[in-house]
Amino acid sequence: MNTTTKLRQFKYYDLIMGAYVCVLLCANLIGPAKVSTVTIPLIGDVTFMAGVLFFPISYLFGDVLTEVYGYARDRRVVWTGFAALVFAAVMSTVIVALPPSVGWQDKQTAVETIFGSTPRIIAGSIIAFWSGSLVNSYVLAKMKIWTQGRWLWTRTIGSTMCGELVDSVLFYYIAFYGVWSMDQLVAVTATQYVLKTSWEVVMTPVTYRLVARLKNAEREDYYDRDTDFTPFTLKL
């Protein structure tokens, strides 16, 4: 089954890849432009980067891709997202660095504020995404074999808990270690992690629907029994 799957063409795989990269770029380019504080009853004020509301959608796509098409195809999507983030970072850096025209000088500060990021934040974002996404996919693929394809919710939530933990810790420690106090760093990392994983729990019914429809439409339910799990290849 697995060998045949590697040679097949799927109807919706490319569309999901495009949606995945779109969400990823928007969450990383638009999301960091604003920090928001929301008052939650019984909890109090919670401060977070606005992108945290949308970035977990990429993990939902990752879960769906691995569950239906397998780890190797999701790995290709992760590398595509990685390349898109690197290009976006280079493009943002060049655009911010270019000297503004006479009529644009009063807008340069706004451009720098929205699109200008320190090298540490850029590196943290890209490394954290790549590492967390591959951990998420690996854990889900292994759990699917352990559970023999049952209890989808255990592996979508379990894999997200592992992937988001890696993502959150790597990003905040690479980007802000030595800039923020350790107490602040731990508090923000924990808050972001809880928000992201909670989002996955809430979206579980949606994940179930998408997975069921795709499996039926693609006539595929991949098990990674003979998969090479190295992250450094694009082979199927």
Rg of the chain on CA atoms, in Å: 19
Print pLDDT tens along the chain (236 aa).
455 556 688 999 999 999 999 999 888 877 766 777 888 787 777 777 777 778 888 989 999 999 999 999 999 999 999 999 999 999 989 998 899 998 888 888 888 877 777 788 889 999 999 999 999 999 999 999 999 999 999 999 999 999 999 999 999 999 889 888 999 889 889 988 998 899 889 999 999 999 999 999 999 999 999 999 999 999 98
Go through the chain and tell me how many residues it has: 236
Residue reference for tokens 């439409």: 217
185 beta partners: none
Task: Report domain extents, the chain.
Answer: 11-99+108-217
Query: What tens digit of pLDDT does each residue of 95-121 get?
Result: 988 999 988 888 888 888 777 777 888
Whole-number pLDDT of residue 3: 54
Whole-number pLDDT of residue 7: 67
CB neighbour list of residue 100: distance below 8 Å, 6 or more residues apart: 107, 108, 111
CA of 6: how far to CAs of 1, 19, 80, 130, in Å? 9, 22, 18, 23
Whole-number pLDDT of residue 65: 97
Tell the CATH topology of 11-99+108-217. Arp2/3 complex 21 kDa subunit ARPC3 (1.10.1760)
DSSP-based three-state secondary structure for 48: strand
What DSSP character marks residue 179? T
Whole-number pLDDT of residue 232: 95
Query: What tens digit of pLDDT does each residue of 118-130 get?
Result: 788 889 999 999 9
